[in-house]
A = this chain, B = another copy of it.
Amino acid sequence: MHEINYQPIGIVHSNFKNPEGTPIQPKADKGTEAIIEVFAEYAEGLKDLDGFSHIFIVFHLHLAERKSLSVIPFLDTNSHGIFATRSPARPNSIGLSVVELIRISDNRLYIKNIDILDGSPVLDIKPYVPDFDVFKTSKNGWLENNLHKLETQKDDGRFKIK
């Protein structure tokens, strides 16, 4: 199949300048604020987004390497297939985060609780809707016994592009 091409619609401005020390999920963050700057030519697409308290950010993991299909993820000491993890070192460097939307001012989204590096290109924004997005799982794989590490484990730079 042929390559898929996307044009960034915005950029993330955050205090997380390097992978090392960055929260590994929004849930692991303690109230960090950040800004998504949506480029002026896409600002019209933000109308009514301020009605939602939480939004999906689909972004490009611009500092993540892509080389391996097996990884030792942040929350384990064993190796797993990349698609069985949320590791940033994916074949296609697509990041997915749900963040809290505080307010919108013109083309700037003020958000809270993030795990996104400064300078990340934003590809899409979607409203998070519990009626669409909450599922009851019956199996949580290798993560089941490792979730207690979520609060303390930070990115340690292991997947940073060389």
Contacts and interface: CB of A to CB of B under 8 A. Distances in A.
Interface of A: 1, 3-9, 11, 25-27, 38, 42, 44-54, 56, 58, 60, 69-70, 79-86, 90-92, 94, 96, 98, 100, 121, 123-143, 147, 150
25 contacts: A1-B8, A1-B11, A3-B6, A6-B94, A7-B92, A25-B132, A38-B83, A44-B69, A45-B82, A45-B83, A47-B79, A48-B84, A48-B142, A49-B81, A51-B140, A51-B142, A52-B84, A52-B140, A58-B58, A85-B126, A86-B129, A91-B124, A96-B126, A129-B147, A134-B134
A58 B140 contact: no
Contact of A49 (B70, B124, B141): B141
Contact of A42 (B27, B91, B143): B91
Contacts of A54: 135, 137
Contacts of A136: 130
A27 to B, nearest CB: 6
Given A42-B83, A50-B141, A86-B132, 11 more contacts: A3-B6, A4-B5, A4-B7, A27-B132, A44-B70, A46-B81, A49-B81, A51-B139, A52-B141, A85-B126, A92-B124
